[in-house]
Chains A and B, each alone.
Chain A
């Protein structure tokens, strides 16, 4: 099993965790991405949404498990075959919600092109953007090092 350990900068990441946890709480009863399916009957639609929510919650809990006592002691987090997919999906869900809630004042073009002027965002927006970028960095790390494990899993 391939395992990737990453040492994160505690003074940078720790302050973002409150916002990330709040965002996960916010996601508890709602899907991060809109769900749209033509002709899906009500019962199947409800079951469908319920299972997606259940999966989303499970992924977010696995993400939060990265930030345990060891992380707060050393800054280390570890990814392997067991958590890589869940963490990737959780990062996607949290980023989508951050975009909707904390970064809604930014244009799609600014977000996609990294043309964001932090000084214009205000404190809450800056924190939201830092979280958004941090989660993308985690995703890139996982994709770079564990893509084979994910594709074979």
Chain B
């Protein structure tokens, strides 16, 4: 697994083979929590995804107001890496199949 934060520790190894059920596109979804500060969530989104401030703020508000925001979509392995990094920052992040494309 490739990790996307600036930290250099070794991440869990990727699965050896991509199972058919895991193929296709996956979405990284961040869920609301009542604890993390809005400014913190904005910073994490900017850091992890390279969003500009308005984009990060828009996703943060979506999480806050709607309970969830899709912050990224793409191949499973990269999506896993993003979820891992978001979990390092103690955000609640999940993966779900992207059935919109």
A interface residues with partner B (beta carbon < 8 Å)? 31-41, 44, 47-48, 50-52, 54-56, 88-89, 92-93, 95-96, 99, 108, 111-112, 136, 139-140, 143, 147, 150-151, 153
Q: Are B11 and A136 in contact (CB under 8 A)?
A: no
Q: Are B40 and A96 in contact (CB under 8 A)?
A: no
With A34-B92, A38-B96, A153-B6 known as contacts, the answer to whether A92 contacts B36 (CB < 8 A) is yes
Q: Which residues of B contact A51 (CB under 8 A)?
A: 9-12, 84
Q: Are A92 and B84 in contact (CB under 8 A)?
A: no
Contact sample, A vs B, 7 pairs, CB 8 Å cutoff: A33-B90, A44-B12, A44-B15, A48-B84, A55-B9, A88-B43, A92-B35
With A44-B13, A51-B9 known as contacts, the answer to whether A89 contacts B90 (CB < 8 A) is yes
Q: Which residues of B contact A31 (CB under 8 A)?
A: 87
B interface residues with partner A (beta carbon < 8 Å)? 6-7, 9-13, 15, 19, 21-22, 33-37, 39-40, 43, 46-47, 80, 83-84, 87-92, 94-96
Partner of A147, one of B7, B15, B43, B80: B43
Q: Are B47 and A99 in contact (CB under 8 A)?
A: no
Closest residue of chain A to B6 (Cβ to Cβ) is A153
Q: How far is the CA of A112 from the CA of B11 in the complex (A)?
A: 33
With A52-B88, A93-B90 known as contacts, the answer to whether A39 contacts B46 (CB < 8 A) is no
Q: Are B94 and A38 in contact (CB under 8 A)?
A: yes
Partner of A92, one of B12, B47, B89, B95: B89
Q: Which residues of A contact B10 (CB under 8 A)?
A: 51
Partner of A47, one of B12, B34, B43: B12
Q: How far is the CA of A50 from the CA of B80 in the complex (A)?
A: 15
Least distance between A43 CB and chain B CB atoms (Å): 9
With A136-B37, A147-B43 known as contacts, the answer to whether A38 contacts B13 (CB < 8 A) is no
Closest residue of chain B to A58 (Cβ to Cβ) is B9
Q: Are A92 and B94 in contact (CB under 8 A)?
A: no
Q: Are A89 and B88 in contact (CB under 8 A)?
A: yes
Q: Which residues of B contact A111 (CB under 8 A)?
A: 34-35
Partner of B87, one of A33, A39, A54, A95: A33
Partner of A96, one of B21, B33, B39: B33
Q: Are A99 and B35 in contact (CB under 8 A)?
A: yes
Q: Which residues of A contact B94 (CB under 8 A)?
A: 36-38
